[in-house]
Amino acid sequence: MLAKISETRKDFDDDLSKTTDIQSLEEVRLKYLSRKGLVPQLFENFKDVSRVEKKSVGQALNELKNYTQAKFDEAKEKFEAAAKNEKESELDLTLPGRMKTLGSRHLITQTLDEMKFIFKGLGFSVFEGPELESDYNNFEALNFPDDHPARDMQDTFFVTPKFLLRTHTSPVQIRVMQSMKPPIRAIMPGKVFRNEAISAKSYCLFHQVEGLYVDTDVTFAELKATLVAFIKQFFGKDVVYRFRASFFPFTEPSAEMDVWWQPKGKEGRWLEVLGCGMVDPNVLINVGIDPEKYTGYAFGMGIERTAMRKYGIDDIRILFDSDIRFLKQF
């Protein structure tokens, strides 16, 4: 047994001296130190050694195990250090460093920030509300009875029969009027959701900014003046616009505002930018405001479509694609 131990140690030294890299060293480990290697096999045969030889053989086995493990660890450390030095030698420290790419605000965020800046300058405060709304705040309080045909104008994502993903930010108007007393002058930006087919002109998720002004003796002329001031700051003082009659359940009378848009090399046309009108007296009654004493106006516009018209974008879907080539342009 002692002769076998001595022979194994000599063979180990010979094989270790022939190793040239980590891979060949691993072959030596498998041959001698793995579970079924030569050294563990010697320990397995130790049970057959006579009682007289056990002490000397056991001591020799332990010395062999410690010796082979130490030599293997030493060789492994040497090869790993050499590999590290070789890798470091491949680095060209004269090369310039890699520039970090910094993100920027999304075009929707930029457009919203510009809108808020303009309206704040006109005396409006900013309010936000939950995206999961009650049917009452989203429809009923805004003069949409259960059987009102105007409900069909908006395809709604209902979560329960009484709760839904809001289809406009008008519920925030209800919340503001319920919690504050006139005068109220506020805008309500946020996400809205409608179950619409996705196309170049429509998406199931988009953003809105709605506005509300309630006080004594508020007139439609003030509404028009406010909106004209906004679009001249947003689109430029030379913008061509028009108002035309429309219908919304929560305003009466109601109107839509169009701007003249003529892309380069294409035929010009009128494009709707917002809807507006005088707050319907029924809405004021629903929130506990006396319509005999107070009047108000409201308006609303889509941020995506407004940005598309300002920057000449013809497909709304690109605003949600996160294509860095597009985003870098703004």
Please give the residue that has the higher pLDDT: either 75 or 127: 127
Mean per-residue pLDDT of the chain: 87
Whether residue 150 is predicted with pLDDT greater than 70 in this model: the reply is no
Q: Which of 19-28, 31-40, 275-284 has the highest mean pLDDT?
A: 275-284
Between 1-5, 255-259, 305-309, the lowest mean confidence (pLDDT) is in 1-5
DSSP state of 168: S
Average pLDDT over residues 28-42: 85
Cα–Cα distance, 34 to 32 (Å, whole number): 6
- pLDDT level of residue 34 (50, 70, 90 thresholds): confident
79-84: list long-range contacts, CB under 8 Å, 24+ apart: 79/19, 79/21, 79/22, 79/25, 80/22, 83/22
Whether residue 149 is predicted with pLDDT greater than 80 in this model: the reply is no
Nearby residues of 209 by Cβ (< 8 Å), 6 or more positions away: 112, 115, 116, 119, 169, 187, 188, 189, 300, 301, 303
Is residue 278 a contact partner of residue 220, using CB atoms and an 8 Å limit? yes
| Range 107-327 has CATH code 3.30.450.20 | no
**Domain extents for the chain?**
2-87, 107-327
Is residue 167 a contact partner of residue 128, using CB atoms and an 8 Å limit? no
User: Is the pTM for the entire model greater than 0.85?
Assistant: no
Is residue 185 a contact partner of residue 198, using CB atoms and an 8 Å limit? no
Please give the residue that has the higher pLDDT: either 128 or 103: 128
